[in-house]
């Protein structure tokens, strides 16, 4: 019987600190929000992979990513990113982290220049 793994949750401050400690290419950064959301507010280095468009990437995304690289997933508040984390872990990804509170929490706690919506 396969027991679902618990999703590793990191705060926006923990993510910001980790991102500052390593080179930009050391982390895989996935943003699962919609393009119109990313147009309002986005963080550098994140690849937009809208959760709602999964039929367009579900077959190809795992091959485009490194299943063992440290991977952070972002959305608006942390719910859609948690769904993506669960999916990635089901695909065999071993180092996936959900950014708690999403870009909204990042805008409040880390960088107030990031627009809120």
CATH number, domain containing residue 61:
3.40.250.10
Query: How far, in Å, are 5, 13, 56, 89, 90 from residue 2 at the CA level?
Result: 9, 32, 27, 12, 10
Count up the domains in the chain and report the number: 1
Q: Which domain holds residue 83?
A: 8-109
CB 96 within 8 A of CB 85: yes
Q: Would 93 be classed as within a structural domain?
A: yes
**Residue 24 — very low, low, confident or very high, per pLDDT cuts 50/70/90?**
confident
Q: How many angstroms separate the CA atoms of 76 and 81, rounded?
A: 8
Is residue 3's pLDDT more than 80?
no
Whole-number percent of the chain with pLDDT over 70: 97
Q: Is residue 21 part of a domain?
A: yes
In a domain, 114, yes or no: no
Q: What is the pTM of this model?
A: 0.94
Sorted by sequence, the CB contacts under 8 Å of residue 68 that are 6+ apart come out as 93, 94, 95
Residue 31 lies in a domain: yes
**pLDDT reported for residue 22:** 95
pLDDT digits (tens, 9 = 90+) for 66-84: 999 999 999 999 999 999 9
What pLDDT is attached to residue 4?
Answer: 61
> Would you say residue 115 lies in a domain?
no
The answer to whether residue 59 scores a pLDDT higher than 60 is: yes
Task: For residue 85, indicate whether it is catalytic.
Answer: no
Residue 18 lies in a domain: yes
Given the residues 7, 32, 43, 75, select the one marked as catalytic: 75
Q: How confident is the model at residue 5 (pLDDT cuts 50, 70, 90)?
A: confident
């Amino acid at each position: 019987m396969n027991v679902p793994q618990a999703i590793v949750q990191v705060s926006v401050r923990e993510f910001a600190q980790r991102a500052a400690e390593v080179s930009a290419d050391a982390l895989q950064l996935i943003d699962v929000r919609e393009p119109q959301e990313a147009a309002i507010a986005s963080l550098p280095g994140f690849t937009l992979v809208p959760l709602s468009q999964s039929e367009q990437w579900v077959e190809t995304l795992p091959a485009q990513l490194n299943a063992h690289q440290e991977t952070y997933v972002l959305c608006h508040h942390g719910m859609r990113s948690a769904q993506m984390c669960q999916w990635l872990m089901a695909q065999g990804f071993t180092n996936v982290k959900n950014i708690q509170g999403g870009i909204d929490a990042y805008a409040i706690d880390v960088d107030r220049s990031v627009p809120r919506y």
